Amino acid sequence: MKRTIGIVGGGFSGCLVAYHLLCNSPNLKLIIFNKTAQIGPGIAYQPVDDVLLLNVRAGKMSALPDQPNHFLDWLIQQSQFKKIKREILADSFVSRTYYGQYLSHIWSSLLQQYPKSIQVVAEEVTAIAHAKEVFTITAKDKTFKTNYCVLATGNEQPKNLTLRNEEAYTNKHYFQNPWMINPSLISNDKPILIIGTGLTMVDTVQLLRKNNKKGAIHCISPHGFNILPHSNEIGNYKGILTTVNLSERLAALLTQFNQARKELKKNGETVESLVNFLRPKTGSLWQSFTTDEKSFFLRHLRHKWGVARHRVPLSSYQEISKELDENRLIIKAGKIKEIKASKDGFTLTYFDAHLNNEVTLSISSIINCTGPASDVTKMTDGLLANLFHNEFIEPDPLFLGIRASVNNFTVINNRNIKRFYALGTLLKGELWESTAVNELREQAKQLALTIQKELKNE
């Protein structure tokens, strides 16, 4: 009997799980649930605008771990890149639009090859039930039966800040989701507030300027860190950390990291090669830390690691630097205390960490770029809230995602539901680094292998 697998989420992870499953087990029936009929790009790689670039060089962006040049090979076949030397293109930061088209190409090829094995349900999943080894997945007013279920839900929208007065969140000029901005509701000349100073802030600033928004942009985050660019040279770290035991406790590792950083600085090198050296090891390092060590990292080190880890192309960095130099972009370290809706927008009160005083600003629109919500215990609606309420998922100890096995991606809960899996952002608490292509492509492949092994054992 043909087995049916439900995949909830049709972004990068859901698309690649489907790819690996069908390439190795073409007789399966897959039902992929997504909010839209477009499978592959997800929110991250939707063709919003060509101005948004990948933050990783093209040569490292293959979606298939066993074919490291897969994206580059596809890219060089596109008319606009055919005359560019392969090594130059591999070292380039191309538009995310192209990556979205690349993922759509993978999906369309899969559909063409296995048309009878795939069903796409272009509706949001609202609930999942389980009885007698069968999952019942509800999307809108229809239900679907599957033998396996994969959660590939991707990023949730940012959570709102807890403020004295939260009425501003219902205002049409407040945008909780930075990827769902309506430019027509944003003033062309008045000041704008972005909450958060990470990579999404960079994207948002670029999109605002592309849409002729000329007003000052104020950005506030607890630390107010500036972004860093990728260096022109791709260095391989060969210093002190390569000779020490990376399985030591966090305090020892931090000491070693700082020694290596000083070593690089003395040689006139950036810390980027050190971060690149540690990247493949972050999952195993994270798992070796105690809960207390992980909590310490989140309180004291996560933002510093994020700045060093999440870099932008030099061209994007130069744009942001120009904005800062011209005082059109103002980055502040502080904590927002209150947001009041006013006739012309909002009145913002925040505590400025450098001035050690409260400051008031008048702004026309607010865009929340604080990063995806992750604490399922605080979600009030949507599928994850439903699954938590019905004890299908449990938060990890740090509330960064859900409990799941890092070995076979099985969701861990008191109900001991079998053939229920998760990957991607949901595993951030288990793996820490679980959101970039580098991790997701490997997870998709390994999860498919896990399911195929389970199928053989039935």
Q: Where are the domains of the chain?
A: 4-52+95-156+373-457, 167-228+311-368, 240-309
Confidence of residue 271 (pLDDT cuts 50, 70, 90): confident
Q: Lowest-pLDDT range, 99-103, 116-120, 228-232, 298-302?
A: 228-232
Is 135 in a helix, a strand, or coil?
strand
Is 442 in a helix, a strand, or coil?
helix
CB atoms within 10 A of CB 443: 22
Q: Which whole number is the average pLDDT over 88-101?
A: 94
pLDDT attached to residue 358:
94
Q: Are 152 and 17 in contact (CB under 8 A)?
A: yes
- Pairing mode, if any, of strands 134-139 and 125-131? antiparallel
pLDDT attached to residue 127:
96
pLDDT attached to residue 308:
83
Alpha-carbon gap, residue 113 to 107, rounded angstroms: 10
Percent of the chain scored above 90 by pLDDT? 73
Q: Retrieve residue 40's tokens.
A: 């592959």
Task: Tell me the whole-structure pTM to 2 decimals.
Answer: 0.93
Is 345 in a helix, a strand, or coil?
strand
Q: Which residue type does 146 have?
A: T
Q: Lowest-pLDDT range, 96-105, 239-248, 256-265, 400-409?
A: 239-248
Confidence of residue 235 (pLDDT cuts 50, 70, 90): low
Q: Which whole number is the average pLDDT over 312-323?
A: 94
Which residues face 138 on adjacent strands? 127, 143
Alpha-carbon gap, residue 412 to 417, rounded angstroms: 8
Residue 356 has pLDDT above 90, yes or no: yes
CB burial string 361-395: b at 16+ within 10 A, e below: bebbbbbbbbbbbbbbeebeebbbbbbbeeebbbb
pLDDT attached to residue 233:
63
Residue 4: its H or E element: strand 4-8
What mean pLDDT value characterizes the chain? 91
Q: Lowest-pLDDT range, 127-136, 252-261, 321-330, 391-400?
A: 252-261
Q: Retrieve residue 327's tokens.
A: 């005082």
CB atoms within 10 A of CB 291: 10
Confidence of residue 240 (pLDDT cuts 50, 70, 90): low
Region 167-228+311-368: CATH code: 3.50.50.60
Residue 51 has pLDDT above 90, yes or no: no
pLDDT attached to residue 8:
98
pLDDT attached to residue 242:
73
Which residues face 131 on adjacent strands? 134
Residue where the block lists tokens 């697998």: 5
Model confidence over 370-427: pLDDT tens digits? 999 999 999 999 999 999 999 999 999 999 999 999 999 999 998 989 999 999 999 9
Highest mean pLDDT among 35-49, 56-70, 256-270 belongs to 56-70
Highest mean pLDDT among 145-154, 175-184, 269-278 belongs to 145-154
Q: Which residue type does 267 have?
A: N
Q: Are 405 and 399 in contact (CB under 8 A)?
A: no
* Sequence-distant (≥ 6) Cβ neighbours of residue 37 within 8 angstroms: 120, 122
pLDDT attached to residue 270:
79
pLDDT attached to residue 48:
67
pLDDT attached to residue 171:
92
Q: Which whole number is the average pLDDT over 152-172?
A: 89
Confidence of residue 447 (pLDDT cuts 50, 70, 90): very high
Alpha-carbon gap, residue 397 to 104, rounded angstroms: 36
CA dihedral 336, 342, 345, 349 (to 10 degrees): -20
Architecture of domain 4-52+95-156+373-457: 3-Layer(bba) Sandwich (3.50)
Alpha-carbon gap, residue 91 to 234, rounded angstroms: 9
Q: Which whole number is the average pLDDT over 58-69?
A: 96
pLDDT attached to residue 1:
61
Q: Lowest-pLDDT range, 40-44, 87-91, 374-378?
A: 40-44
Confidence of residue 149 (pLDDT cuts 50, 70, 90): very high
Return the DSSP state at 242: G
- What are the Cα distances from residue 339, in Å, to 171, 342, 361, 365? 11, 9, 10, 11
pLDDT attached to residue 342:
82
